[in-house]
Structure 1
Amino acid sequence: MSNVKQPLLYLCHRIPYPPNKGDKIRSFNQLAYLSQHFDVYLGCFVDDPSDMGYTKELSKYVKGMYVLPLNKRHATFRGVLRMGRRRPITLPYYFDPKMAQWVNNTIAKFAIRNVLVYCSSMAQYVDSPQYQRLNRVIDFVDLDSDKWRQYAKKQNFPMSWVYNREFRTLLAYEQQLTEHFDASVFISSNEIELFCKLSSISSHSRIHAVSNGVDLEFFDPKAVTDSTDQQHTPTVVFTGAMDYWANIDAVRWFVKHVWPYVTKQVKNARLMIVGSNPSDKIIELGAFPNIEVTGKVDDIRSYIRAGWVSVAPMRIARGVQNKVLEAMAMEIPVVATSLAMEGLAKTNGCNVAIEDNEQHFANAVVAGLKKRQIATENRQWVVKNYRWEEQLQHLKTLLTRT
């Protein structure tokens, strides 16, 4: 029996390291798992210059890689310039002829037969007749087109028009890719159902659900020690990339509509907003009493562990919320909107409150702050349902060409 690994081309719109935000958590864990079974050739962009320093760490998982810096201003200009072509703005945004040349050369040089595309914007590099012979799998992750539809509802003209345009053109492109590629993946069956509802797909036999997982060794409450302050201060925690619009919207709604009632009932309650690159609107919230905006932190586990309650008040969301899984793995009670819990297994028996009404949401938070609870049942649920290896076995099967 041969131990020689098959080569695999893996294309990501963003460098899959460090795994500190939603898309990078999924892409990194895919890379780490698949590198055990394939010789991975990674092509990706870097939109944060500080991430260029992580290429050495990534080299542990790949046979070869091509990492291109992405200038966001130039990329946006390319996208706007090509708006008349009835294609999603994200395609020219992520197109670079140097990446296209690397992809072509790599496929030819290493006789690549299997390709995994992470995010629809990278499919353009292998979505051509010359590559029909390859086994091409695309991981859409979430239904990105629907995010733009949600964004459009919350904006005024002209941005509402721009976002609606991106919704329509991206949905059409997503449908095209499901027809061209050998297999398509979404993060949950809910995403698949919505995609089939919004598009004109008649059959989804080649569309598969591969959920997220949790690094249970890393997100282990036993690995983090509470400080005295954390033990005695009733704390609400929100985690996430704080330059991401859905997170910004969620936190601002929570502070405006829920937090005043919470602090009225629990005078010494503290809110920690934890995540990188906080926008100006988030930084402003740090001026309120008992609200802390941390910015980027070295180890998010200690902040999650400090929480008596972890909140996910999402009003714009698709897919699976890693913030919910990570908090549950750390045995923290969770209060979330129904939108934040879409795509997750039923949480019956868990310390999870699902509330969409602001008053009910506040009541659930207050209940968690009255007495600190260790939600061991939450971790047990994650262990049962969201181990990375079990989630990714199906993806490996799709990529194994006989």
Structure 2
Amino acid sequence: MMKKLLYLVHRLPYPPNKGDKISSNNMLNYFSARWRVHLGTFVDDPEDWQYVDLVSSKCEDCCIVNLPGWRRLTGSFSGLVTGQALSLSYYGNRELQDWVRTTIEHECPDAVLVFSGVMGRFVRDLLPAHVPVIFDAEDVDSEKWRSYGDSARWPLSWLYRREADKLLAYERKMAASTSVTLFVSEEEADLFKTLAPESADKTHFRTQGVDSVYFDPSVELDNPYEEGQRVLVFTGAMDYRPNIEAVTWFCDNVFNTIREKEPSFLFCIVGMKPTDEVRQLDNIPGVRVTGGVPDVRPYLSHALAACLPLQLARGIQNKALEAMAMSLPVLATDDALVGIIDHPGVLSHVANSADEMSRLALTILSRPRQANTAGRACVQEHYNWDTNLKRMESFLLREEDVH
């Protein structure tokens, strides 16, 4: 008989159109084929309600709760009053809590997978000691907020540092109270071990995956660019602060130098929900902001390189792996490539200053597109979802289940 898995994830694991949903969707696909999944999650984007039936069809049971945008304000106020991290207050929900409690009492799950730390609150003190619990933190979220605090002005700097301190305390409690804490890269795991040494012996890492059948450079796709354009492309959710900072930094510090020497240069920003700040970049001649697109592959297929000038990055970047799967060279900062295996021959051009990025970009733009075949080979060898999730599953199986 298939075992029961209680799977808690902070937003509906479909569609796989941003980093965390790529991970959570692949986890759902993997485990629903092998376990009876009881899914508890939120819908924080009204457009995602159309996918609820699809997600539900993969599960034994679901509790899918609406999380309206106004909760950010009320949750933040509640967090300040109660002394909690604002992120935790935002996700507090009685309906989901009651469903989790009932599911644990009536279904007696064999294991629990908590995807994103904020969901751990729902199982605290409810599970028998013998039930394995994975806390998949993805990255050290508290450090992201600390980085925001270091670069912001008061009072935001105070608010961000407060969030960092509160979240770190919560992350440490989660790690101490669960069987295993997983991060998306060895670097993130090592960082957390220094922040939570009491849980170092049960802190591990997993690896991202890429669907290299879908991201296949041999598939012929229509060119979305104008004839003669020499394109560097950035992909990612454009309401996410590190992505916003990356493209604005590039346009402010690098773009003009390249455009002056290569008038056919196009910097194409592809991603859902661009903020007003990002949309304004579309007014710059030679910059294109697409908004959400049904398929990102044509934009990768017909560019000369993926340009990933991230100034702040946590974990492994899906955008880098997807470009590599499409045999696309990558021009990036060190931060954008953290956690990706150093595979021989991969065409990754690293630039951490505006001058260096301009120089390398002009070199890429001056020649025909190079096929990053080693990049695709790296993805196929090291970033297969089923292989990586099988290792994750081993943490959910008790020793007697393995033998």
Q: Same fold (TM over 0.5)?
A: yes
Residue 337 to residue 107, structure 1, CA distance change in 2 (3 Å): same
**Structure 2 residue aligned with 1:287, among 274, 283, 287?**
283
Q: Deviations over 1:72-131 (max 9, x none)?
A: 212431232232433211111101000001111112222212100000100000011554
In the other structure, the counterpart of 2:184 is 187
In the other structure, the counterpart of 1:277 is 273
Residue 224 to residue 107, structure 1, CA distance change in 2 (3 Å): farther
Question: 2:308–2:336: 8 Å Cα contact kept in structure 1?
Answer: yes
Count of residue correspondences = 398
In the other structure, the counterpart of 2:116 is 119
The letter of the residue matching 1:170 is L
Q: Matched residue of 1:138: which SS? A: strand
Question: 1:189–1:343: 8 Å Cα contact kept in structure 2?
Answer: yes
Residue 301 of structure 1: CA displacement? Answer: 0.8
The CA distance in 2 between the partners of 1:228 and 1:321, in whole Å, is 24
In structure 2, list runs of 5 or more residues that go unmatched.
Answer: none
> Does 2:26 match 1:29?
yes
Question: 2:104–2:126: 8 Å Cα contact kept in structure 1?
Answer: no
Question: 1:141–1:187: 8 Å Cα contact kept in structure 2?
Answer: yes
The letter of the residue matching 1:194 is L
> Does 2:303 match 1:307?
yes
The letter of the residue matching 2:337 is M
**Structure 1 residue aligned with 2:331, among 331, 335, 355?**
335
Residue 161 to residue 78, structure 1, CA distance change in 2 (3 Å): same
Q: Deviations over 1:157-186 (max 9, x none)?
A: 111111000101111111111110011110
Residue 279 of structure 1: CA displacement? Answer: 0.3
Residue 134 of structure 1: CA displacement? Answer: 2.3
The CA distance in 1 between the partners of 2:188 and 2:81, in whole Å, is 29
Q: Matched residue of 1:9: which SS? A: strand
1:350-361 maps to which residues of 2 (within 5 A)? 350-361=346-357
Q: Which runs of 4+ in 1 moved over 6 A?
A: none
Residue 228 of structure 1: CA displacement? Answer: 8.9
Q: TM-score, normalised by structure 2?
A: 0.95
Question: 2:332–2:350: 8 Å Cα contact kept in structure 1?
Answer: yes
Q: TM-score, normalised by structure 1?
A: 0.96
Question: 2:79–2:88: 8 Å Cα contact kept in structure 1?
Answer: no
In the other structure, the counterpart of 1:102 is 99
The CA distance in 2 between the partners of 1:293 and 1:203, in whole Å, is 43
Residue 230 of structure 1: CA displacement? Answer: 6.2
Question: 1:231–1:306: 8 Å Cα contact kept in structure 2?
Answer: no
In the other structure, the counterpart of 2:294 is 298
In the other structure, the counterpart of 1:386 is 383
The CA distance in 1 between the partners of 2:203 and 2:323, in whole Å, is 30
Between 1:370-379 and 1:153-162, the stretch displaced more is 370-379
Residue 163 to residue 235, structure 1, CA distance change in 2 (3 Å): same
RMSD, aligned CA: 1.5
In the other structure, the counterpart of 1:344 is 340
Q: Matched residue of 1:134: which SS? A: coil
1:205-354 maps to which residues of 2 (within 5 A)? 205-227=201-223, 232-354=228-350
Question: 1:142–1:186: 8 Å Cα contact kept in structure 2?
Answer: yes
The CA distance in 2 between the partners of 1:348 and 1:86, in whole Å, is 49
Question: 1:151–1:316: 8 Å Cα contact kept in structure 2?
Answer: no
Residue 229 of structure 1: CA displacement? Answer: 5.1
Residue identity (%): 35
